[in-house]
């Protein structure tokens, strides 16, 4: 029998999801650092002789560990991102961790530290850019941030449980307010530069983004080869269905406006279950979407406006003919639930953020070189 989680654990999991959303909205753990970039090493004058006890840094939360273009970074912030970086790759910060592992070509300890540093550097980049462009928090943003504490207490049952939750996740009230604030600033900066949902991106730029990245849009007329339970139809019925679709194809070929006739016959005859949900066709990333291979091959081989010249069989589904359509900058993508315009803006924004972040200079304090993730996380030997 599967045991149910205690109610307090369920509430904590809900709050953790909220915190994770705030963190991942910014994509800061996406690895902006160029792979293979060397981690900082202390010079002879920077080498610190003191040792760090297992499981603790021995540092106060307000210990300055480095600066990013002069912006101070204290131990509590770095500690949180080290903790989060471990969780992000599926490691339990309090469990067994094999520190001899490598991750993306780097020793695990070095990888975790580098990801934490880049997360911090990205946050400072957003702050700096918002100041430069006079992007600020709205009153609604401030109200939402102010409500985080009350919402957390309501979910966890008491102030004590809420504070314990923060402590367990290497957070404190000042730090969580900061994380939410920068997350909102990040969104506001995006809107300032690209508009809501990328509205400032032109049709031409959005479509060019789609073409450069292998996106495709197509409609099809499907006549099924299986029944409602998924079982194959009889051979006699299969032959009738193929003949029916062949007749539809010949009708389209003979029409003076083949595209208009395709739409008409699709609406009248197609047995595609997604026809009502996607009346303007399916728009998708042809390289990653989990569509029938025959469908994808035909869709990507056609030019925009082109129509299948022969019947295509989709395994376990039916016979089909396709019409490829021009990309639509605002049509919702089947696989991502967003539009090309929005995706183009988000990609350009992230590229800009990464380039700005790489220009930020980190100046390390001597104490930074005493911090070793392997001494802070995982089950420590006595």
Residue 276: inside a domain: yes
CATH value at residue 223: 3.10.50.40
Tell me if 248 sits within 8 A of 269, measured CB to CB.
Answer: yes
pLDDT of residue 382: 52
Do 296 and 258 fall into the same domain? yes
Query: Does some domain include residue 257?
Result: yes
| 18 & 143 share domain | yes
As separate numbers, helices (DSSP H) first and strands (DSSP E) second, the chain gives 11, 9
Residues 196 and 258 both lie in one domain: no
Residues 232 and 283 in one domain: yes
Other Cβ atoms within 10 Å of 34 Cβ, number: 9
The CA-based angle 177-179-182, given to 5 degrees, is: 105
HEC sequence for 249-311: HHHHHHCCCHHHHHHHHHHHHCCCCCCCCCCCCEEEECCCCCCCHHHHHHHHHCCCCCECCCC
Q: Does residue 1 fall inside a structural domain?
A: no
| Residue among 320, 250, 252, 325 at smallest CA distance from 291 | 320
Give me the pLDDT at residue 56, please. 60
Residue 154: domain span: 7-201+343-372
- Is residue 256 in some structural domain? yes
User: Are 362 and 114 in contact, with CB atoms under 8 Å apart?
Assistant: no
Distance, CA of 19 to CA of 17 (rounded, Å): 5
Instruction: Report d(CA 48, CA 367) in Å as an integer.
Output: 7
Distance CA 116, CA 86 (A): 9
Q: Is the dihedral of CA 257, 262, 263, 268 positive or negative?
A: positive
Residues 119, 85 within the same domain? yes
Token pair in block for residue 124: 């400072």
Distance, CA of 83 to CA of 358 (rounded, Å): 23
For residue 24, being part of any structural domain is answered with yes
Based on the fold, state whether residues 299 and 211 are members of the same structural domain: yes
* Cβ pair 214, 287 in contact under 8 A: yes
**Phi, psi dihedral angles at 373 (to 5 degrees):** -50, -35
Torsion from C-alpha of 210, 213, 219, 223, nearest 10 degrees: -170
**For residue 310, is it within any domain?**
yes
114 neighbors 37 (Cβ within 8 angstroms):
yes
The tally of domains found in the chain comes to 2
Task: Give the pLDDT of residue 49.
Answer: 33
- Co-location of 182 and 220 in the same domain: no
Same domain, 128 and 213: no
Please tell me the pTM assigned to this model: 0.80
Q: Would you say residue 66 lies in a domain?
A: yes
Residues 17 and 108 in one domain: yes
129 & 160 share domain = yes
Q: What is the mean pLDDT of each run of 10 residues along the chain (382 residues)?
A: 36 46 41 42 38 60 97 97 94 94 96 95 96 98 94 93 94 94 95 97 98 97 96 97 98 98 97 94 95 96 97 96 98 94 96 95 96 90 56
Secondary element (H or E) of residue 75? helix 75-88
For residue 336, being part of any structural domain is answered with no
Look at residue 26 in the predicted model and tell me its pLDDT: 36
As a whole number of Å, the end-to-end CA separation of the chain is 36
* Closest by Cα among 77, 87, 28 to 57: 77
Q: What pLDDT, on a 0 to 100 scale, did the predictor assign at position 381?
A: 59
Cα 51 to Cα 56, 192, 367, 369, 370: the distances in Å are 11, 47, 10, 10, 7
**Does residue 247 sit in the same domain as residue 145?**
no
| CA angle in degrees (0–180, nearest 5) for 142-146-148 | 125
CA distance 71 to 178: 14
Q: Are residues 43 and 159 in the same domain?
A: yes
Q: From the CB of residue 97, how many other CB atoms can be counted at a distance below 10 Å?
A: 19
Q: What is the largest CA-CA distance in the chain?
A: 86
Angle, helices 340-358/108-133, rounded to nearest 10 degrees: 100
């Amino acid at each position: 029998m599967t045991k149910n989680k205690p109610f307090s654990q369920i509430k904590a999991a809900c709050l953790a999801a909220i915190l994770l959303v705030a963190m991942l909205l910014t994509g800061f753990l996406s690895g902006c650092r160029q792979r293979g970039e060397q981690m900082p090493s202390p010079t002879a004058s920077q080498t610190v002789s003191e040792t760090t006890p297992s499981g603790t840094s021995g540092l106060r939360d307000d210990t300055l560990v480095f600066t990013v273009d002069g912006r101070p970074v204290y131990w509590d912030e770095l500690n949180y991102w080290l903790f989060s970086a471990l969780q992000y790759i599926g490691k339990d910060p309090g469990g067994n961790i094999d520190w001899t592992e490598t991750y993306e070509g780097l020793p695990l300890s070095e990888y975790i530290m580098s990801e934490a540093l880049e997360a911090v550097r990205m946050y400072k980049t957003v702050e700096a850019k918002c100041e430069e462009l006079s992007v600020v928090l709205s009153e609604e943003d401030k109200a939402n941030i102010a409500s985080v504490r009350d919402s957390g207490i309501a979910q966890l049952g008491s102030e004590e449980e809420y504070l314990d939750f923060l402590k367990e996740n290497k957070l404190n009230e000042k730090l969580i307010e900061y994380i939410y604030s920068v997350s909102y600033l990040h969104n506001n900066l995006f809107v300032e530069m690209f508009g809501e949902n990328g509205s400032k991106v032109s049709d031409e730029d959005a479509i060019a983004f789609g073409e450069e990245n292998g996106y495709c849009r197509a409609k099809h007329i499907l006549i099924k080869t299986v029944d409602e339970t998924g079982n194959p139809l009889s051979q006699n019925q299969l032959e009738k269905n193929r003949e029916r679709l062949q007749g539809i194809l010949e009708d389209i070929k003979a029409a003076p406006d083949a595209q208009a006739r395709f739409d008409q016959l699709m609406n009248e005859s197609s047995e595609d279950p997604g026809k009502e949900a996607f009346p303007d066709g399916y728009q998708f990333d042809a390289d990653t979407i989990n569509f029938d291979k025959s469908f994808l091959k035909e869709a990507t081989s056609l030019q925009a406006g082109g129509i299948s010249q022969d019947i295509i069989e989709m395994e376990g589904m039916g016979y089909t003919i396709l019409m490829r359509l021009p990309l639509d900058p605002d049509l919702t993508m089947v696989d991502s639930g967003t539009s090309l315009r929005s995706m183009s803006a988000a990609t350009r924004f992230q590229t800009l953020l990464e380039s700005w972040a790489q220009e930020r200079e980190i100046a390390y304090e001597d104490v930074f070189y005493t911090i070793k993730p392997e001494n802070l996380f995982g089950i420590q030997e006595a």
